[in-house]
Amino acid sequence: MKLAVVGATGLVGQEILKVLEERNFKFDELYLVASSKNVGKEIKYKGKPYTIKSMEEAVKLAPDIAIFSAGGSTSLEWAPRFAEMGTTVIDNSSAWRMDPDKKLVVPEINGKELKTDDRIIANPNCSTIQMVMALAPLHNKYKLKRIVVSTYQSVTGTGKEAVVQLMNERKGIDGPKVYPHPIDMNALPHIDVFTDNGYTKEEMKMVFETRKILGDQSIGVTATTVRVPTIGGHSEAVNVEFHNDFDLKEIRQILENTPGVIVEDDVKNNIYPMPINAHGKDEVFVGRIRRDESQPKTLNMWIVSDNLRKGAATNAIQIAEFLKEQSLVY
């Protein structure tokens, strides 16, 4: 088993290495790959130094699995070249998510759709993953009709430079900026670029990806995505209308029995999901579960998860684990 991590020096790449070690993912050879400016540098994994390789060198080594976290343009150029060498690529960018020929996978939900000839597998958007983790089991029971979601997303979703901007502003330092406005003490209703319909690409990702993962194009989805000054953890206020009515006790039981989901919902004791508690954890946390009293068959939930973990690194590694368990890679 030869494993490559492409984009190993970035925030997600570093998290991938951490999760690989925590989950004791078995491989015989590890190739760490990054941009040309980092080639030749060393990164340690389990105390052993690994020299950063170039994309050209890594392709020739024909790894069995390559986990990409290097951006959409890099993935569009290089993922097919790895796939031609027999590598199964698990891609964290948005490059392949809506390609009709590529699977968009959350293993707990639709991993069973994967086949041996799926050479490029898309990892969904972080905000989509945590939402569908909570909604998929409820969709199976009550059938989703419409989702209204507002997100409160961490600066780590943008990358290292965003964390630097936040911390500089907090210290009163005038440094480089990746956002068009200050992020500290602020909230920006602007994630990714605006599209012609007035929504951002991030908002439309949640629309299209949710339908694709759940395999139901009839679900109505509308989103407002907001960047907030937190580090490590996205939060979402989700309002869900079902075709069939539900019982709140049964909703909680379903969520409590869903692998990868933890219910934190004891408002009398001020217990509810918060990003500060989700940081560094793989689970999706759900709370503030309550009926929408303004219309029938409608539920409100608050969903929180670490965007670098289940929202990116952990989900990608779970896909790799699934491929190995099902003997879909060799």
- Residue positions annotated with a catalytic role: 126, 234
What's the alpha-carbon Rg for the chain, to the nearest Å?
A: 20
Starting from the edge strand earliest in sequence, which strands make up the sheet with 220-227, in order?
A: 220-227, 144-153, 234-242, 298-305, 284-291, 261-263
CA angle 35, 36, 40 (to 5 degrees): 105
The helix-helix angle for 248-256 and 126-142 (nearest 10°) equals: 130
The helix-helix angle for 201-214 and 126-142 (nearest 10°) equals: 40
CB 271 within 8 A of CB 250: no
d(CA 196, CA 192): 13
Pairing of strands 234-242, 298-305: antiparallel
Terminal Cα distance for the chain, rounded = 7
Q: Tell me the β-bridge partners of 68.
A: 6, 91
Pairing of strands 144-153, 220-227: parallel
CB 274 within 8 A of CB 93: no
